[in-house]
Amino acid sequence: MQFISRATPLYEFLRLSNGTNHEKRVLDCGAGGAQPPLYLFYQHGYQTYGIDISEDAIKASENFCQKNNLNIDLNIKKGDMRTIEYEDEFFSFVYSYNSINHLSKSDIIKTMREIERVLTPDGLCYVNFGSEDSEIGDRGEKIGEGEYLLPIGNNQTALHTFHTDNEADSYFRNFKLLRKEKSILYRYEKGELQFLICKIHYIGKKM
Amino acid sequence: MQFISRATPLYEFLRLSNGTNHEKRVLDCGAGGAQPPLYLFYQHGYQTYGIDISEDAIKASENFCQKNNLNIDLNIKKGDMRTIEYEDEFFSFVYSYNSINHLSKSDIIKTMREIERVLTPDGLCYVNFGSEDSEIGDRGEKIGEGEYLLPIGNNQTALHTFHTDNEADSYFRNFKLLRKEKSILYRYEKGELQFLICKIHYIGKKM
């Protein structure tokens, strides 16, 4: 199948990962969903591992494989990225795309330490964060600095965390930054600008 | 060959292009260079056409194919994107990546009209522009509004054109905007932030 992932920032991560001689073993934190990016890495010969806190999201990723007649197992299991159930230095590559922004800042600190722990020395990680420059209407209920409960329909809310431009740099103290990019997506509806979705993307190499 | 293009914003364009039923015929304006993005489209079954003003860049793209033992012809010819030598509505897809920012603003207007002319109705285009938020030292010699001659080594300079956030919107009057994204790349050297490279990326559908 000619698959182009919606998670296009991961192509840069894949390109840099392919440029190393590391063992091709990758972990996705927040791996579930209807179009699992792990399939991209699978296509490029990686041993794929994924964890997701949501059983629905895991089911959706299994449906993706079934629907596309892919007789493969992306190896996505229920798990919590704040306490990753793999041993130290087990992965050459770890990423988390559009997921960590649903954790509180104290949980993000825990998660970043876990990502660092399970990475081999010289291993690469990609993580993106929500940016404070995002325009999200009234932002719902503020519960902490850069932490908001935002409506997601059906009278439910979900935690969304936002970072200032350099705030997330501190998570990468033990990494060499290979790339840092801020992206500002203009969202239009019926030709009118509605709001901006801003993210800050990091690729680091564990020192 | 497992090829990941450095021109990662084009994956979004390829994804949207794959989602149409248009004839898979694509033109790259500024197609030459050591890693021609047209190869990505070739791999996805597109008839590829490219033009480039630079014979060296065309030669570099031919070297890419030879070096990788690709017995293919990406069909990149010498040509000027200000006067595209193809008939009206010949292409379903046209893109120009990191190229149009080397034209003056009056030439960019000409080029955008040409891109529109050679596109089929409902055809898609991707173009990115330099952003005024780029940090480029003293910016060399200013020769017009947002137009600078910047040093490129060997005592040579090259024209670089920069746009404000919404300035390029006017080129897309006859398009429906499918996507607009600004990217801010932080460039580090020896661990120190050196400068920002900012681009504004558009994907439009010809109306």
B81 by Cβ neighbours in 10 Å (0-12 / 13-18 / 19+) ranks as buried
Instruction: Determine the pLDDT at residue B80.
Output: 98
Q: Which residue of A has its CA nearest to B172?
A: A191
Q: Do A11 and B4 touch (CB under 8 A)?
A: yes
Which residues from B are below 8 Å from A when comparing CB atoms? 2, 4-6, 8-9, 11-12, 14-15, 18, 44-45, 176-177, 179-186, 188, 191
Q: How many CB atoms lie within 10 A of CB B108?
A: 22
Q: pLDDT of B92-110, one tens digit each?
A: 999 999 999 999 999 999 9
Q: Is B6 helix (H, G, I), strand (E, B) or coil?
A: coil
B149, B161 contact by CB (below 8 A): no
How far apart are the C-alpha atoms of B86 and B73, rounded to whole Å?
Answer: 18
Q: Is there a domain that residue A1 lies in? A: no
Specify the pLDDT at position B137: 64
Lowest mean pLDDT, pick from A165-169, A178-182, B131-135: B131-135
Beta bridge partners of B206: B175
| B185/A184 Cβ within 8 A | no
Average pLDDT over residues A61-67: 94
**Does A145 reside within a domain?**
no
Average pLDDT, chain B: 94
If one counts every other C-beta atom within 10 angstroms of the C-beta of residue B26, the result is: 28
Q: What is the pLDDT of residues A132-170, one digit of tens each?
A: 999 876 668 899 999 999 988 888 999 999 999 999 999
User: How do residues B167-201 score in pLDDT, each as one tens digit?
Assistant: 999 999 999 999 999 999 998 777 677 789 999 99
Amino acid letter, residue A151 = P
| Beta strand B76-78 pairing with B47-52 | parallel
Amino acid letter for position A159: L
| pLDDT higher than 90, residue A52 | yes
- Please tell me which residue of chain A has the smallest CA distance to B1: A44
Say which DSSP state B85 is in: -
pLDDT at B1 over 70: no
Q: How far is Cα A94 from Cα A12, in angstroms, rounded to an integer?
A: 14
Q: Do the domain assignments include residue B29?
A: yes
pLDDT for res B189: 75
Q: Residue A181 and residue B180: Cβ atoms within 8 Å?
A: no
Q: What are phi and psi of B126, to 5 degrees?
A: -125, 130
Residues A22-51: what's their mean pLDDT?
97
Q: Which two tokens stand for residue A86?
A: 């793999």
- The pLDDT, as a whole number, for residue A3 is 85
The pLDDT value given to residue B188: 79
Q: B56 vs A155, which has greater pLDDT?
A: B56
Our CA-based measurement puts residue A194 at a distance from the nearest CA of chain B, in whole angstroms, of 12
Q: What is the pLDDT of residue A108?
A: 98
Model-level ipTM above the cut of 0.95: no
Percentage of chain B modeled with pLDDT above 70: 98
Instruction: Using alpha carbons, list the distances in angstroms from residue A106 to A112, A147, A161, A198.
Output: 10, 11, 11, 21
Task: Assess contact for A199 and A128: CB atoms under 8 A.
Answer: yes
Q: Do B11 and A2 touch (CB under 8 A)?
A: no
Put simply, the answer to whether A8 touches B5 (Cβ < 8 Å) is no
Strongest mean pLDDT among A129-138, B9-18, B149-158: B9-18
Question: Residue B139 has what pLDDT?
Answer: 66
Question: Any bridge partners for residue B175, and if so which?
Answer: B206
Which range, A26-30, B71-75, B130-134, has the best average confidence (pLDDT)?
A: A26-30
Domain count, chain A: 1
How many CB atoms lie under 10 A from the CB of residue B152?
11
Can you tell me whether residue A156 is helix, strand or coil?
Answer: coil
Average pLDDT over residues A76-101: 98
- Are A70 and A41 spatial neighbours (Cβ–Cβ below 8 Å)? no
Tokens coding B161: 């054109």
- Tell me which residue in B2, B5, B44 faces A2 most closely, judged by beta carbons: B44
Give pLDDT, residue B109. 98
Chain A: give the shortest CA distance to residue B86, in Å. Answer: 29
Whether B63 is in a domain gets the answer: yes
Instruction: Give the torsion through C-alpha atoms of A139, A141, A144, A148, to 10 deg.
Output: -40
Distance, in Å, from the CA atom of B168 to the CA atom of B166, rounded to the nearest integer, reads 6
pTM tops 0.90: yes
Q: Contact B38/B28 with Cβ under 8 angstroms? A: yes
Q: Kindly report the nearest CA distance between residue B100 and chain A, in angstroms.
A: 20
Which amino acid, B156? Answer: Q
Q: What is the pLDDT of residue A70?
A: 87
The reply to whether B97 falls in a domain is yes
Query: Residue A141 domain-assigned?
Result: no
Mutation target among B1, B2, B3, B4 for the A interface, most CBs of A within 10 A: B4
Backbone angles phi, psi at B135, to 5 degrees: -105, 115
Radius of gyration of chain A from Cα atoms? 17
Q: Which domain holds residue B197?
A: 10-132+163-206
Instruction: Spell out which residues of chain A touch residue B11, defining contact as CB-CB under 8 Å.
Output: 4-5, 8, 11
**Residue B32 neighbours by CB under 8 Å, 6+ apart:** B50, B52, B54, B56, B57, B58, B59, B60, B61, B76
Q: Write the pLDDT tens digit of every residue in B22-52.
A: 999 999 999 999 999 999 999 999 999 999 9
Q: What are phi and psi of B204, to 5 degrees?
A: -130, 155
A183: chain B residues, CB-CB within 8 Å: 181-184
Amino acid at A150: L
| Structural domain includes residue A15 | yes
Q: Contacts of residue A168 in chain B, CB cutoff 8 Å?
A: none
CATH of the domain at B26: 3.40.50.150
Per residue in A187-200, pLDDT (tens digit) is: 877 767 778 899 99
Work out the angle at residue B89's Cα, subtended by the Cα atoms of residues B87 and B92, and round it to the nearest 5 degrees.
Answer: 125
B181·A184 Cβ contact <8 A: yes
* Contacting residues of B for A177, CB less than 8 Å apart: 188, 191
Question: Is A153 contained in some domain?
Answer: no
Return the SS3 of A119.
Answer: strand
The residue with tokens 């990494």 is: A175
For A6, residues 6+ apart whose C-beta sits below 8 A from its C-beta are A35, A37, B15
